[in-house]
Amino acid sequence: MRENERLRIAIQKSGRLSERSLSLFKKCGLDFDLESGKDRLFHQCLDFPIDLMLVRDDDIPKYVADGICDLGVVGENVLAEGPSEFQVLHRLGFGQCRLSLAVPEGREFKGVRDLAGKRIATSYPSCLKKYLTRHEMDAHIVILSGSVEIAPKLGIADAVCDLVSTGGTLKSNGLKEVDTLFESQAVLIRASSMAATPFRTDFEKNKDINRLLQRIKGVLQAAQSKYIMMNAPSEALSQICKIIPGMEEPSVMPLGLDGRRVAIHAVAREAIFWETIERLKEVGASSILVLPIEKVIS
Ligand code: PRT
Ligand code: ZN
């Protein structure tokens, strides 16, 4: 058992997930001392019993599985390629991408079976193998650790299986996306084996993990929610409740003494688009204010 009773969390040191991970923790009230001692292995959080470890994303599952860290933030794509010995505690809503198959633009593609016996370059051999097995077909998997998209141009592959987010990289390399193996985003993980350990330190740690999880849920929910205020004719109330997406029970206050108009305050659990505002105006709402929410505690 580790001596240190503080939680340890591993996140990517530098790359697509680092800034968003740090910013999420900051919104959860966790400020890490990153400036002093940049080469230190662990960075302390002063106001929560948790230390941060900055590492390459590919190493995060190993550190969590081996108990070096209790928690990790990593892309589902990285987890999918390795053994499944993790509990996903929460999907974090950033780092979205998909693992896709792509072939050269000019190539006719009628279906995945066109790739039977062909060479497919990828950094995700295990995911690709599972996909091929699911389609009951075989192909030569060319394993590359990076720059997969140039493999067809180099003549070492007929197709690629790589991560895509905007699709710009495929396009600029003359490739077209033809199928998606799976969608991915950053997730918070812990080792499955730590779930029910009897030690007191683990009991304390579980409590801290739950505290952190509640904060993460609050921040993510707040990011999707809006506080909306408006004045409206009282008879429009039921229509307004239908127009606002994911609206919880609104507070309704009479305006003036005749009760013909009311002020409505509500939390909407989904994004409010301009179309929603226009529809509210159509049913008589005015002075509409849409405000961001910092935290949601259910
Ligand atoms: O150094 P380290 O090993 O930590 O970093 P890394 O270079 O392996 O990872 P990094 O920072 O590139 O990505 C970290 C994680 O971000 C990935 O594991 C994914 O979970 C997630 N992610 C989200 C992406 C992308 N979007 C993404 N677009 N990871 C990689 N890409 C690459 C993709 O491989 C391709 O080369 O971006 C290119 C395609 O992008 P588009 O926008 O042109 O389609
Ligand atoms: Zn990596």
With the most atoms of ligand 1 within 8 angstroms of its CB, the residue from 96, 163, 173 to mutate is 163
Ligand 1 atom closest to Cα of residue 168? 43
With the most atoms of ligand 1 within 8 angstroms of its CB, the residue from 18, 56, 59, 97 to mutate is 97
Ligand 1 atom closest to Cα of residue 18? 11
| pLDDT (tens digit per residue) in 119-134 | 999 999 999 999 999 9
Asked whether 152 lines ligand 1 (CB < 6 A), one says: no
Asked whether 82 lines ligand 1 (CB < 6 A), one says: no
Distance of CA 3 to the CA centre of its chain: 32
CA atoms within 13 A on the CB side of 200: 1
Q: How far apart are the first and last CA of the chain?
A: 35
Q: Six-digit token pair at 5?
A: 């009773």
Does the pLDDT value for residue 135 go beyond 50?
yes
Q: For the whole prediction, is pTM greater than 0.85? A: yes
Burial of 280 (0-12, 13-18, 19+ CB in 10 A): buried
From the CA of 12, how far away is ligand 2's center (Å)? 8
pLDDT of residue 197: 46
Ligand 1 atom 20 nearest Cα = 75
What is the CA angle 185-190-193, rounded to 5? 140
| pLDDT (tens digit per residue) in 12-56 | 999 999 999 999 999 999 999 887 666 678 999 988 999 999 999
Distances (CA, A) of 256 to 57, 138, 231, 251, 262: 59, 74, 12, 16, 8
| Torsion region of 55: left, alpha or beta (phi above 0 gives left; psi -120 to 50 gives alpha) | beta
Q: Six-digit token pair at 222?
A: 């707040």
Ligand 1 atom 8 nearest Cα = 57
Burial of 120 (0-12, 13-18, 19+ CB in 10 A): buried
Asked whether 263 lines ligand 1 (CB < 6 A), one says: no
